[in-house]
A and B are shown apart, each in its own frame.
Chain A
Amino acid sequence: MTEYVGQSMPRYNGIGQVTGTARYVDDIQFPGMLYVKVLRSPVHKGTIRNLDLSAVAKTTGVAGVLTADDIPGQNAYGFYGDSQVFNPKQPRFKGEPIAAVVAVDEDTAMEALAKAKLDIEEQTPVFDMFEALKPNAPLVRPGTANNLFEYAPGKTTFVIKLGDIEKGFQEADHVIEGTYKEGMQDHCPMEPHVSVARIDDADRLEIYTHSQCLNVHLGFLCPVFNLPQSKINYIGGRCGGGFGGKNDIHCDHIAGLAALKFRKPVKFRFTRKEDLAYSTKRGPWVFEYKTGFKSDGRIVASHIREFHDSGAYTGLSPYCIEKCGMFASGPYAVPNILVEAQVIYTNKPVSSSMRGFAVLNGQVAMETQMSRIAEQLGLDPWELRFINAWRDGDMGASRYVVQGAGAIEAMRKCAELAGIQLPAKLMEMNSRRR
Chain B
Amino acid sequence: MKKKGVGMSCVLHPTGNKGAGDPSQAAIQLKPDGTFTLVTGAVDLGQGSSTILRQFAADELGVPIENITVNNSAGNAAPVTMGSFASRVTLIDPHAVKLAAEDLKAQICKWAAAQFGVNPDDVTFADNKVAVKNDPAKSLTMAEVGAGVFNSPALMIGTGAWYPAPFTAHDPETGAMPSVGAVSFGACYLELEVDTETGVVDILKLVQAWEVGKAVNPLMCKMQIGGGLSIGLGYALSEECWPHAPSMDFVPEVLGDYFIPTFADYPLENERAVAEVPHPMGVKGAKGFSEGSSTAPIPAIIAALHDALGVWITEIPVTPEVILRALGARG
Contacts and interface: CB of A to CB of B under 8 A. Distances in A.
Do A and B belong to a common assembly? yes
A5 interface: yes
A371 B9 CA distance: 8
Contact of A181 (B10, B127, B187, B315): B315
A407 B294 CA distance: 16
A241 to B, nearest CB: 6
A159 B177 CA distance: 12
B320 interface: no
Contacts of A127: 242, 245-248
A183 B317 contact: yes
A26 to B, nearest CB: 15
A235 interface: yes
A412 B275 contact: yes
B184 A406 contact: yes
Contacts of A416: 273
A182 B316 contact: yes
B113 interface: no
B281 to A, nearest CB: 7
Given A186-B239, A323-B14, A325-B175, A418 B189 contact: yes
Contacts of B186: 410
Interface stretch (B100-108, B138-146, B227-235): B227-235
Interface string A270-283: 00110011000110
A137 interface: no
B295 A5 contact: no
Contacts of B78: 214, 237
Contacts of A323: 14, 18
B241 A353 contact: no
A363 B299 contact: yes
Nearest to A341: B175
Assign chain A's interface to a size class. 35 or more
Contacts of B127: 1
Contact of A212 (B45, B50, B303): B45
B40 to A, nearest CB: 8
A368 to B, nearest CB: 5
B303 to A, nearest CB: 4
Interface residues of B, number: 125
B231 A417 contact: no
A94 interface: yes
Contact of B235 (A161, A185, A370, A413): A185
Given A8-B219, A410-B187, A368 B312 contact: yes
A310 B315 CA distance: 18
Contact of B315 (A17, A182, A375, A381): A182
A38 to B, nearest CB: 15
Contact of B81 (A215, A229, A239): A215
B72 interface: yes
A216 interface: yes
Contacts of B189: 414-415, 418, 420
B299 A364 contact: yes
Given A212-B83, A357-B86, A331 B245 contact: no
Contacts of B56: 4-5
Interface of B: 7-14, 18, 41-46, 48, 50-52, 54-56, 58-59, 62, 64-65, 70, 72-76, 78, 80-86, 126-127, 170, 172-180, 182-189, 205, 207-211, 213-220, 228, 231-232, 234-235, 239-242, 245-248, 251-255, 258, 260, 271, 273-281, 284-287, 291-292, 294-296, 298-300, 302-303, 306, 312, 314-317
Given A4-B65, A181-B316, 18 more contacts: A127-B248, A184-B240, A186-B241, A214-B78, A239-B44, A242-B46, A272-B253, A331-B183, A356-B13, A359-B291, A367-B9, A368-B303, A372-B312, A398-B177, A407-B10, A410-B186, A413-B274, A414-B188
Those 4 A-B pairs whose CB atoms lie nearest each other, nearest first: A213-B83, A406-B211, A160-B175, A367-B299
19 contacts: A4-B54, A12-B51, A183-B317, A185-B241, A188-B234, A188-B258, A212-B84, A214-B41, A237-B44, A353-B85, A359-B12, A359-B291, A363-B295, A368-B302, A402-B183, A407-B185, A407-B211, A410-B186, A414-B189
